[in-house]
Amino acid sequence: MPAANCNQVMAEIKTLNLSDQLRLLEEMATLIRKKASKTKPRSILELKGKGKDIWKGLNVKAYIDEERTSWNG
């Protein structure tokens, strides 16, 4: 929604009385919950193998030793 439309909707919401604003809020929360529940949960396992090329050919022991040395300043 463009900002102008959003601002227009917000202006209209502000003209509603408190009970109508609360009702609108509850209905919007219900709509959003329904939409969110339809989305498939993500898994950390989807990240498996991402960025593995960055570590290709790296001497792991040397890298760890270098990192540990840097901790001591």
pLDDT digits (tens, 9 = 90+) for 16-45: 999 999 999 999 999 999 988 887 888 999
Three-state secondary-structure class, residue 2: coil
Q: Which two tokens mark 18?
A: 């408190």
Q: Which two tokens mark 58?
A: 């790296």
Q: What does pLDDT average to over the chain?
A: 91
pLDDT value for 41: 82
Contact present, 13 and 21 (Cβ < 8 Å): yes
Query: How far apart (Å, rounded) are the C-alpha atoms in residues 13 and 10?
Result: 5
Contact present, 20 and 9 (Cβ < 8 Å): no
pLDDT value for 19: 97
**Count of alpha carbons within 13 Å of 50, Cβ hemisphere only?**
5
Q: Report pTM.
A: 0.48
Q: What is the mean pLDDT of residues 9-17?
A: 96
